[in-house]
Amino acid sequence: MSFSIVQRTIAGFTLMLVLILIVGGVSYGNTDRIHSRLQHVTEVSTPMVISASQLLASLRENQLKVIDYQTTTNINLLAVKKVDVQKAEHRFRLLEQQAQLYAVDERAQTELAAALLVANAFFASSNTAIERYNQWLAVKRQHQRLNLEFIHLEDTYQSAANLLIQSASHKRSLRNRAELITSGISRDLKNVRRATPQTDLKTLSAVLTKDIEMAKQGITRIDVAKDVKARYSKNLNRVYELTLGDNSMLAVMEKQHTLATQLADLNEKSNQQVTATQRALTDYMAYAQANAKASQQAADEAANQATLSIIIAAVISAVIALAVAITTAKSIHTPLVRINSVLKKMTAGDMTQRTNYRSRCEFGALSRSIDQLSASMTEILTQINVGSAHLVSEATKTAATSEKAMNRVEDQKSRTDQVAAAISELEVSAKEISRSTEQTVEEVNEVNQAAQQGRELVLTSRTITEQLATEMTEAVAITQKLSEFSNNIGSILDVIRGIAEQTNLLALNAAIEAARAGDQGRGFAVVADEVRALANRTQQSTEEIQHMITNLQQNTLQVSQVMTRSQTQTEQCVEQARSTDIALQTIVERMHLILDMAIQVAHATEEQISVSQDVSEHINGIAAVAYNAESEARESSQSSEALSQLAAQQRQLIERFKV
């Protein structure tokens, strides 16, 4: 499959564009990867390391603040030191929140949570240690106060003991007993005063308790003055209260020793927690540094891939561009040489030259077009040469034809004048037809109005006839009801006739019974005769009424039949009125059509007049054109002679070309 030069060029540049887009896409992807990795380093890993370092430094600061608090013995400075410890812890909490924001993955959150858990334990231990230190300071102050009292008590006791010994000096045995009582207490008091944290306070307390009991028992057996014994006993009780009581010196020393031990344990625990926190934060920092290193390595790999992709795409693009340039230059140079040579010869007048270049590219099409142009020019020039010879002869013939045309134009002029006269007469006739048509329209309007009036009269007659039909229908109904009433009267007369016959029979029976009764029934017989006579008259009247009713029923039947026929005829009259209305409506519609047609004829006549006028004008124009044609025919004859001369010159010019 062969491609054109434009297609090759487009394909080459398209391929280069695709490669550039691929390189751009790869570069963009790698750049995005580098940016994301560097962003991870700058926004995640580095802040993780920095936050861990800050947490570790803040933790050490808190430890130093706690140690500074525990080494402060000035009560007035403890509140300030306490505020410093709280501020340091607050700074640690702020750093803790910031560090939790940077711990984005699960492992970082787990390791940070472990470190913060140990740190929270450290703060709990530190707060407990501060409380224990406050308790220890309070106990220490109490111990110092008791120690001052103890020193004063020791002097007072020693004075009382010396007074007791002096009072017992008059007897050696009594003196020895007094020295035995006082020496143990004096020794115990010295041991109490010299007691250290390593001293066994329980043993010292037991010995002192035993010596005080022995002294209390021994003082009762010594024969000395009562005031001396009372003074010694008072000091002895005071020694017991100050050394062995609930808030005694030995109890305070024991409590101070216990608090010191707890404080040491808490400090040791805090140190261990700080070490554990430091180790956990170190692991957290190592994980963050490993993430940073991995992100840096990924960024380096992305950069290397981007560089390699750009180099490969650049090499491929250069090869493709070079191939496209070579093939395109070769495809352009060869046909251009042939085309240029042929065009130079054609310019010199040689139309027999051909490029004879066969290719499917644009230059092949251009070469074929030039060859076709050369062949066409050869054919055209040949035909023009032949046509020039014919043109000379045809010019001569044209001159003769122009002469004949002049004669025909003159004949056309005379005929046109005759047509103009006929058109004028036609225009006059059309005007007469227009006037007649207008009169016809007026007559049709009058007939239409008369038909419209007749239709209105028929409508009125139709309405009256329909009302008459309605009334006839009601009269027929009334006549039928009258016939029914007559029939009912006949039935009533039948009843009356039956009653008269029964009355006559009853009168006959009464007469028979009266005859049987003789003279007693004579009055009853008279009544029976009257009743029979009344029954006979009733029967006669009934027969007369029957005859009258029969006549009435016959007349009523005849009236009903007449009314029925009248109703039928009335309905027929209504139908005829409707038919007449429809016929008149048809006549009116036809008259409208005739009127419309008359109007159309009038319009057509007017148009005919207008057309006749236009035809007259056109005929006049044709006459003017005939005059112009005559003059133009003369000019055409002159042009034919000039054309013959130009044809000769054209033939001389064509002979210059080689065909």
List domains and CATH numbers for the chain.
5-313 (1.20.58.920), 363-654 (1.10.287.950)
Asked whether 630 and 409 are in contact (CB, 8 A), the reply is yes
Look at residue 1 in the predicted model and tell me its pLDDT: 52
Amino acid occupying residue 201: L
Diameter over CA atoms, the chain: 207
Q: What is the mean pLDDT of each run of 10 residues along the chain (659 residues)?
A: 66 76 74 63 70 83 85 82 87 86 80 84 86 84 82 86 85 84 84 78 85 85 85 88 79 82 84 83 79 74 76 80 74 72 71 70 71 72 68 66 67 69 69 72 73 75 76 73 69 72 76 74 70 75 75 72 74 75 75 76 72 70 68 69 71 67
> Which phi and psi angles does 227 have, rounded to 5°?
-65, -30
**Residue 244, φ and ψ in degrees, nearest 5:** -120, 0
b (16+ CB within 10 A) / e for 307-338: eebeeebeeebeebeeebeeebeebeeebeeb
Best CA proximity match to 48, nearest among 302, 295, 301, 300: 295
Measured over the CA atoms of residue 623, residue 627, residue 628 and residue 629, the dihedral's sign is positive
Question: Cβ atoms within 10 A of the Cβ of 34, count?
Answer: 20
Contact status, residue 126 vs residue 271, Cβ threshold 8 Å? no
Sequence-distant contacts of 589-593: CB under 8 A, at least 24 apart: 591/444, 591/447, 591/448, 591/451, 592/448
**Cβ–Cβ under 8 Å, residues 181 and 228:** no
Q: Is 55 helix (H, G, I), strand (E, B) or coil?
A: helix
**Nearest residue to 164 (alpha-carbon basis) of 123, 113, 225:** 225
Q: Which two tokens stand for residue 17?
A: 């564009």
pLDDT of residue 75: 80
Q: For tokens 């005759």, what's the residue?
A: 418
| Measured CA distances, 529 to 496, 518, 539 (Å) | 20, 15, 15
**CA dist., res. 274 & res. 119, Å (int):** 7
pLDDT, one tens digit per residue, over 229-288 is 889 889 888 888 888 877 777 788 888 788 888 888 888 888 888 888 878 888 877 877
Task: Please tell me the predicted confidence (pLDDT) of residue 160.
Answer: 86
* Tokens coding 571: 């309905």
d(CA 63, CA 59): 6
Q: Of 222, 96, 89, 232, give the one whose Cα is nearest residue 156.
A: 232
For residues 627 and 409, give the distance between their C-alpha atoms in angstroms, rounded to a whole number.
8
Cα 254 to Cα 215: distance, rounded to the nearest angstrom: 25
Report yes or no: 296 and 40 within 8 Å, Cβ to Cβ.
no
Q: Which of 265, 239, 280 is nearest to 96 (CA)?
A: 280
* The residue to which tokens 């009382």 are assigned: 160
Q: Is residue 621 packed enough to be buried (19+ CB in 10 Å), middle (13-18) or exposed (0-12)?
A: exposed
User: Tens digits of per-residue pLDDT, 77-120?
Assistant: 888 888 888 888 899 889 888 888 877 788 878 888 888 888 88
* CB neighbours of residue 171 within 10 Å: 12
Question: Residue 456 has what pLDDT?
Answer: 80
Q: Distance between CA atoms of 479 and 556, rounded to whole angstroms?
A: 7
**Number of Cβ within a 10 Å radius of residue 464:** 12
What is the pLDDT at residue 351?
66
Structure-block tokens of residue 132: 């224990």
Q: What is the pLDDT of residue 626?
A: 62
Terminal CA-to-CA distance of the chain, rounded, Å? Answer: 38
DSSP at 500 = H
Give yes or no for a contact between 139 and 252, defined as CB atoms under 8 angstroms apart: yes
Residue 224: Cβ within 10 Å count? 19
Distance between CA 338 and CA 334 in Å, rounded?
A: 7
Distance CA 627, CA 633 (A): 10
Q: Please choose, from the candidates 577, 349, 339, the residue with its C-alpha nearest in 3D space to the C-alpha of residue 462.
A: 577
Query: CA-CA distance, 423 to 434, in Å (whole number)?
Result: 16
Nearest 5°: the CA angle 649, 654, 656 is 110
- DSSP line for 442-462: HHHHHHHHHHHHHHHHHHHHH
Write phi, then psi, for 536 (nearest 5 degrees).
-65, -45
The pLDDT score that the predictor gives to residue 89 is: 85
DSSP state of 659: -
3-state secondary structure of 73: coil
